[in-house]
Structure 1
Amino acid sequence: MEDAQIKRQHKLVVNNRKTSLVTGVLDVLSFDLNEILLETEQGMMMVKGTDLHVNRLSLEKGEVDLSGNIDTIAYSDMKPAAKQGGKLLARLFH
């Protein structure tokens, strides 16, 4: 079995709403200072806040380290659509 096909366990650790470690990450779909959208083993995950940064990204390991002022974390079971992903996901999380 190839490494890319191995399911990774998803874990979310948030420290004082300032830093976060996320495992089981399949892809980073978008990010800016106010919003980070991740595809994880447990579905789509949106992190909202201010001054958000992706400090470390390892898609091989499925890990992401985030920092900033974390206000909201939301999940959805929806999978991203190839062409309309941004609009669909925007409606899904608002």
Structure 2
Amino acid sequence: MAEAKKNPRHEVTMFNRKKLEISGVLNVESFDSEEFLLETECGFLCIKGQNLHMKNLSLETGQVSIEGYVHDFGYSNESQGGSKGKGLMGRLFK
């Protein structure tokens, strides 16, 4: 497990804001048609949009494909927390 933290393997490929292919996914925390929260090897990835749905999921290989219209996506590292409060999970459940 320490090996994965030293050399994380994570890639995000977006096609015309309508399809995302993501590797290095460890867990799907939550999802609905407007937001996905994924735990990746490089931190938590939050994807926001419209009509989002999971096309493919393989946690064994760490691959996820999402289709829909993507408005925004960004990362948050729980371990960095610091003065920003409780991290992404804390901000989502205010």
| TM-score (normalizing by structure 2) | 0.79
Deviation at 1:89, TM superposition (A): 4.6
Unpaired runs of at least 5, structure 1: 80-84
Match of 2:57 in 1: 57
The sequence identity of aligned pairs, in percent, is 39
Q: One-letter code of the match for 2:92? A: A
Contact persistence 2:76–2:88 (CA under 8 A): no
Secondary structure at the residue paired with 1:33? coil
Q: One-letter code of the match for 1:13? A: T
Q: One-letter code of the match for 1:58? A: S
Match of 1:22 in 2: 22
Deviation at 1:13, TM superposition (A): 0.2
Equivalent in 74, 86, 90 of residue 92 of structure 2: 90
| TM-score (normalizing by structure 1) | 0.79
Q: Deviations along 1:17-45, whole A, 9 cap, x unmatched?
A: 00010000000000000000000000000
